[in-house]
C-alpha cells in the first residue's frame, strides 16, 4: 500500500549539504502497524515528511496505492511530536478536531458524529468546549490523535507522538493506538526512539542505520495480538525482541554492518542494500 523506493534526501544549505537519508526502500502493507526506530538524527522525521508529501525527496519516490506522493495525499493523517504547535490555540477542542472534516467537505451531521466518536474514543468526551491551553500535555496529544482519527485516514503517520508525555500517560496512549488500529483497520507507521515502545506496539519493526540512512533490518514482532502493558512486557519473547533491536541500534551507532552485509562483502557483492529478516 505504502511503497518507499530508493528514497534519498539531501538538505542543501548555503554552507553545507546534509545527506539525511541515503537509500531507503521498504513497503508497508495495508492494515499493518509498523514501528520505525533508529539512532537519534538518523533521518526518521525527514523520512516521514517525505512520506507525507511535506518535503520533496532528492531522489526516489513514495507511492500510496500505486500513486506517487507529491503533496499531502488525501486519506493520510499525520500526528507530530509537538502537540503544543499542532493544535490551534484560538479554537476549542471540538473545532480543532472538526477542521479537517470541513476541508474534506463532510456534511454537518456526519461531522458532528465523527467528532463525537473520535473524542469519546480518546477519552475526551467531556472536553469539547475546552481550549488546548486549558488541557494537560497528554490531553492535547489525545486531541491531536482524535483529529487524525475523525478524518478517517487510510494511513496514519505518527512522529514520536508520545515523546513529551509522562510515562503513565504514554502507556495509556500506546494502548489507545493499538485499540484504534484494531477497531479501524487503519495502516499505521509509528516513529519512535523508544525500543520498548516499538516492540510493544508494532506488528513489524523497521530498524534504520545511522545517517546517511538505509534500512538495517525489518523485524516481524511475533508477540500475541492481544497485548497489555503488564503481561506482554513480561514475556520472555518480548525481552528477546527488545534485546535484539537494542543490539541492532547499538551496532548502527557504531557503524557496524549487519550479518547479511558481512556475507555480501565476503562474496564481493554490492554492499549497498541492507535488509534483514
Pick the closer one to ligand ATP by CB: 98 or 160: 160
Quote the least distance from Cβ 158 to ligand ATP, whole Å. Answer: 13
Pick the closer one to ligand ATP by CB: 44 or 154: 44
Residues 177-236 that bind ligand ATP (CB under 6 A): 193, 211
The answer for residues whose C-beta is within 8 angstroms of residue 171's C-beta and 6 or more apart is: 229
Question: Is residue 120 classed as helix, strand or coil in its secondary structure?
Answer: helix
Size of the site for ligand ATP (CB under 6 A): 14
C-alpha dihedral sign at 148, 189, 236, 243: negative
Quote the least distance from Cβ 40 to ligand ATP, whole Å. Answer: 4
Quote the least distance from Cβ 87 to ligand ATP, whole Å. Answer: 21
Quote the least distance from Cβ 44 to ligand ATP, whole Å. Answer: 4
Pick the closer one to ligand ATP by CB: 160 or 261: 160
Distances (CA, A) of 67 to 64, 70, 102: 5, 9, 25
Pick the closer one to ligand ATP by CB: 10 or 91: 10
Record the cell numbers describing residue 198, joined without a space.
516499538
Which residues sit opposite 76 in a β-bridge?
Answer: 155
Pick the closer one to ligand ATP by CB: 78 or 93: 78
C-alpha dihedral sign at 250, 251, 252, 255: positive
Pick the closer one to ligand ATP by CB: 53 or 123: 53
Record the cell numbers describing residue 232, joined without a space.
506482554
Distances (CA, A) of 166 to 86, 93, 149, 172: 19, 21, 22, 10
C-alpha dihedral sign at 61, 65, 70, 76: negative
- Rounded to a whole number of angstroms, the distance between the first and last alpha carbons of the chain is 20
Quote the least distance from Cβ 141 to ligand ATP, whole Å. Answer: 17
Quote the least distance from Cβ 200 to ligand ATP, whole Å. Answer: 19
Residues 8-67 that bind ligand ATP (CB under 6 A): 11, 13, 18, 20, 38, 40-46
Chain contacts with ligand ATP (rule: CB under 6 A): 11, 13, 18, 20, 38, 40-46, 193, 211
Amino acid at each position: 500500500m505504502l511503497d518507499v523506493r530508493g528514497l534519498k534526501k539531501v538538505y542543501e544549505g548555503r554552507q553545507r549539504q546534509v545527506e539525511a537519508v541515503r537509500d531507503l526502500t521498504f513497503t508497508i502493507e495495508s492494515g499493518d502497524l509498523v514501528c520505525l526506530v533508529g539512532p537519534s538524527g538518523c533521518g526518521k522525521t525527514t523520512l516521514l515528511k517525505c512520506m507525507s508529501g511535506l518535503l520533496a525527496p532528492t531522489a526516489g519516490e513514495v507511492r500510496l496505492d500505486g500513486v506517487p506522493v507529491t503533496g499531502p495525499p488525501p486519506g493520510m493523517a499525520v500526528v507530530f511530536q509537538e502537540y503544543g504547535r499542532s493544535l490551534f490555540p484560538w479554537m476549542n477542542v471540538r473545532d480543532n478536531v472538526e477542521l479537517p472534516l470541513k476541508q474534506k467537505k463532510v456534511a454537518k451531521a456526519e461531522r458532528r458524529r465523527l467528532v463525537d466518536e473520535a473524542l469519546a474514543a480518546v477519552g475526551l468526551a467531556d472536553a469539547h468546549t475546552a481550549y488546548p491551553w486549558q488541557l494537560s500535555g497528554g490531553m492535547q496529544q489525545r486531541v491531536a490523535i482524535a483529529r487524525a482519527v475523525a478524518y478517517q485516514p487510510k494511513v496514519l503517520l505518527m512522529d514520536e507522538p508520545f515523546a513529551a508525555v509522562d510515562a503513565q500517560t504514554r502507556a495509556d496512549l500506546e494502548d489507545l493506538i493499538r485499540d484504534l488500529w484494531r477497531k479501524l483497520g487503519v495502516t499505521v507507521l509509528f516513529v519512535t526512539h523508544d525500543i520498548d515502545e516499538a516492540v510493544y506496539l508494532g506488528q513489524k519493526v523497521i530498524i534504520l542505520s545511522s545517517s546517511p540512512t538505509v534500512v538495517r533490518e525489518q523485524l516481524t514482532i511475533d508477540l500475541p495480538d492481544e497485548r497489555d502493558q503488564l503481561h506482554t512486557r513480561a514475556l520472555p519473547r518480548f525481552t528477546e525482541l527488545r534485546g535484539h533491536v537494542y543490539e541492532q541500534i547499538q551496532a548502527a551507532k557504531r557503524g557496524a554492518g549487519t550479518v547479511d552485509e558481512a556475507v555480501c562483502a565476503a562474496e564481493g557483492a554490492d554492499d549497498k542494500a541492507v535488509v534483514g529478516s
